[in-house]
Copies of this chain bind each other. A is one copy, B any other.
Amino acid sequence: MTKERKIDMVILGLLSHEKLSGYDIKKRIDDGIRFFWKGSFGSIYPALSHLEKEGFIRKSKEDSNESGRERIAYEITEAGRSNLQAWLSDSKTVNDLKYEVLLKIFFGGAVENHVSLATIEAFEKEIEQELKMLQFFKQNLSKVLHERDHVFFYLTVSFGVETYEGYLRWCQEAKTMLSEQNCE
């Protein structure tokens, strides 16, 4: 269909549930999907402009300026929904992962082991924090799975929990191997 910039699909996906402003979209991304996707204002606002030009979204009138505060909410059009569905119907996915932490471990031969151990420990701490939040979300969502939309949110959170727990197991293994090696 279109050039299929991914941020476009994120916006279309979010708008398929509710009317949102650019600012709202940024928050939805940060709060809900930040562990597997990111987006900045610098990409969101231009995307909204051209999605509107292409007819996939439109400005919603209703919630206009009661207050003097500027706010432009968008809603998805039928064409936009078709576009979203076409993208969803292609089962091929590109998953682009950049783990700087693995890069640093991979090249750990160039430094002493305690340097790599510090890198692992910093990673571990970060993951422990995030995992707590994901587990909290997961527990809350597991109570409301009768609502169809919640199932999809639950599954992405569950993915996060599964991989983050794997990260932590790996951290244990890596710490053990690198500290044992020190003693030999």
Q: How far is the CB of A80 from chain B (nearest CB, A)?
A: 10
A166's partner among B33, B115, B162 (CB-CB below 8 A) is B162
Question: In the docked arrangement, what's the CA distance between A57 and B94, Å?
Answer: 33
Known: A13-B110, A33-B102, A36-B102. A173 touches B156 (CB 8 A): no
Q: Which of A1-50 contact B (CB under 8 A)?
A: 6, 9-10, 13, 16-17, 32-33, 35-38
Contact across chains for B151 and A170 when beta carbons are under 8 A apart: no
Known: A6-B100, A13-B110, A162-B170. A122 touches B92 (CB 8 A): yes
Q: Which residue of B lies closest to A92 (CB)?
A: B122
Q: Is A67 an interface residue (CB 8 A)?
A: no
Q: Which of A132-184 contact B (CB under 8 A)?
A: 145, 148-149, 151-156, 158-159, 162-163, 165-167, 169-170, 173-174, 177-178, 181
Q: Which residue of B lies closest to A101 (CB)?
A: B93
Contact across chains for A162 and B155 when beta carbons are under 8 A apart: no
Q: How far is the CB of A126 from chain B (nearest CB, A)?
A: 9
Measuring CB to CB, which residues of chain A are less than 8 angstroms from any residue of chain B? 6, 9-10, 13, 16-17, 32-33, 35-38, 81, 84-85, 87-89, 91-111, 115-116, 118-119, 121-123, 145, 148-149, 151-156, 158-159, 162-163, 165-167, 169-170, 173-174, 177-178, 181
14 A-B residue pairings within 8 Å (CB atoms): A9-B103, A85-B110, A92-B122, A93-B122, A96-B100, A97-B97, A99-B159, A106-B156, A109-B152, A151-B177, A155-B178, A158-B173, A162-B170, A165-B166
